[in-house]
Amino acid sequence: MNILVLNCGSSSLKFQIIETDLDLIEQNADKRLASGLLERVVGNALITLQVEGQPKVRETAPLRDHRSAIDFVLRWIISPNSKINNIKSLGDIHAVGHRVVHGGEKFTKSVLIDDQVIEQIEDNIELAPLHNPANLKGIYGARELLGTGVPQVAVFDTAFHSTMPETSYLYAIPYQMYRRHRVRRYGFHGTSHRYVAYRYRQLANIEREQVNIITIHLGNGCSACAIKNGESLDTSMGLTPMEGLVMGTRSGDVDPSILEFIHHKEGIGMRDIDTILNKQSGLLGISGLTNDMRELLAEEQEKNDRRARLAIDIFCNRVKKYIGAYLAEMGGADSIVFTGGIGENSAAVRERICNGLEWMGLSLDKERNGEKVNGREGEISVDNSRLKAFVIPTNEELLIARDTVRTIKNVPRRW
């Protein structure tokens, strides 16, 4: 089957077409046929398109909204210029898989989208006001343009974490807040943590129940997940993706009283404070320069910039704290696994995080952790390290495509 995977952000659209099916999943032989990114979706969009094996094509086009972005993608897919393997008409797209950020407590696995599912995703808008509306626009747009005959599946960022026990997901605030408003930890990046755990299991050649690892997703958004006996036991993001690790522009953990304090001192309201914590904090906030780790590392190295160094140090220190906390919570783990743009590509950041963890049994192998492993799968600790470390590039789109096929064919998810 050819699956169109859509990931709609507030002003962007990422897509991939993946050829997959139950037998291809079994043989790990599913293939990406094409991919693309449309940025500044409302306005003069910047568009990057690529047919697998061909050079990237960049162009701009005026786009009104997500629907017109999807329309643009569909036209490109079937245009004679693109020549995507096995795709000649829209009839060759057999299903659509959507990344949906917040599934609330309702969705513990991927589901076939119908009117009721759409209503329930709409109900979760209040939990993810930045993300779910954009995801929904993708769903409405694809339904309208491809017709309801093409099955669509929602794959939730929160679903993997539905196994967390109350001790992980409840906050120590009045219980009524949970009962009345479902205020609790949901966790995000679940598709990434799940994919990485699945690849780890394959590399280690063990059963799912034997997977005891800490996965650390470091991208623009960052989160850690304690995976015990193959299930999410705890994760660092909370009710929203704000909690936990330091991120590109998000603060991660702060003392909640800071909000009230800033409100008084700066004379600004909750909405502005939320913007500060979501959009002006993290690496950007500390460095005052950029949210981009690659640029910060360059500033630190080339200009010896103090605040760039501080931002990276605070970032790495927070990850280290979570590793320690999760090891204690899990009663030990076999490995930690790095993923996401920073985790996959920055040997320097991985080294700074692991530095000083030798006492807990983690010995990094400098050569294995070097440039060679960047963007690839591999072990980066020494052979006899008691706690091992790995780099495993994430592939959320592949998991979304696979879940789409399994959901349509009613085959329970396995990883």
Catalytically active residues are 157
Per CB under 6 A, 294 contacts ligand ADP: yes
Q: Is 13 in the site for ligand ADP (CB under 6 A)?
A: no
Q: Does residue number 345 form part of the binding site for ligand ADP (CB under 6 A)?
A: yes
Nearest CA to 186 among 67, 82, 104, 110? Answer: 104
Beta strands 43-51; 95-100: pairing state: unpaired
DSSP string, 330-359: HT--SEEEEEHHHHHH-HHHHHHHHTT-GG
Judged by CB under 6 A, which stretch of 56-64, 217-225, 308-316, 398-406 contacts ligand ADP?
Answer: 217-225
219 sits near ligand ADP (criterion: CB under 6 A): yes
Choose between 285 and 340: whose C-beta lies nearer to ligand ADP: 340
User: Closest approach of Cβ 217 to ligand ADP, in Å?
Assistant: 8
Q: Which of 179, 172, 65, 182 is nearest to 124 (CA)?
A: 182
Q: How far is the CB of 345 from ligand ADP (least distance, A)?
A: 4
Least Å distance, CB 371 to ligand ADP, is 9
Is 341 one of the binding residues for ligand ADP (CB under 6 A)?
Answer: yes
CB of 341 to ligand ADP, least distance (A): 2
Find, among 320, 340, 376, the residue nearest to 220 by Cα: 340
Answer yes or no whether residue 204 interacts with ligand ADP by CB under 6 A: no
Verify binding: residue 293, ligand ADP, rule CB under 6 A. Answer: yes
Rounded distance, CA 82 to CA 60, Å? 16
User: Phi, psi at residue 43, to the nearest 5°?
Assistant: 130, -155
Map tokens 């980066």 to a residue.
Answer: 380
Q: 127 with 178: CB under 8 angstroms?
A: no
State which of residues 297, 310, 314, 408 lies at the interface with ligand ADP (CB under 6 A): 297
Quick note: the x/- pattern for ligand ADP over 232-271, rule CB under 6 A, is ----------------x-----------------------
Contact between 361 and 391 (Cβ < 8 Å): no
Residues near ligand ADP (CB under 6 A) are: 219-221, 248, 292-294, 297, 340-342, 345-346
